[in-house]
Amino acid sequence: MFEQYDDLVTVEDLTEMLNIGKNSAYKLLDSGELKCFRINRVWKIPKKSVSEYILQKSQ
């Protein structure tokens, strides 16, 4: 689905993948709906988590 992205995506990548704004992306990350983690102040988002989130929301 998202072959052009690395296994860990950035917030900017996430906004492109889901076609959302940065504020919406940060709300999604803060809420815990999307499995991700932080190293210091940098969000690390597994590409697989984005795909799983999309599948979960489309059901």
Residue 1: partners with Cβ closer than 8 Å, 6 or more residues away: 51, 54
Q: Which domain holds residue 12?
A: 8-57
Whether 1 is covered by a domain: the verdict is: no
User: Is 90 exceeded by the pLDDT of residue 1?
Assistant: no
Whether 18 is covered by a domain: the verdict is: yes
Predicted pLDDT at 10: 96
User: What are the distances in angstroms from CA 46 to CA 7, 21, 36, 54?
Assistant: 6, 19, 6, 13
Whether 48 is covered by a domain: the verdict is: yes
Half-sphere exposure of 35 (CA within 13 A, CB side): 11
Total structural domains in the chain?
1
CATH assignment at residue 53 = 1.10.10
Predicted pLDDT at 7: 97
Is pTM beyond 0.95? Reply is no
d(CA 20, CA 15): 5
Predicted pLDDT at 47: 97
Contact between 51 and 1 (Cβ < 8 Å): yes
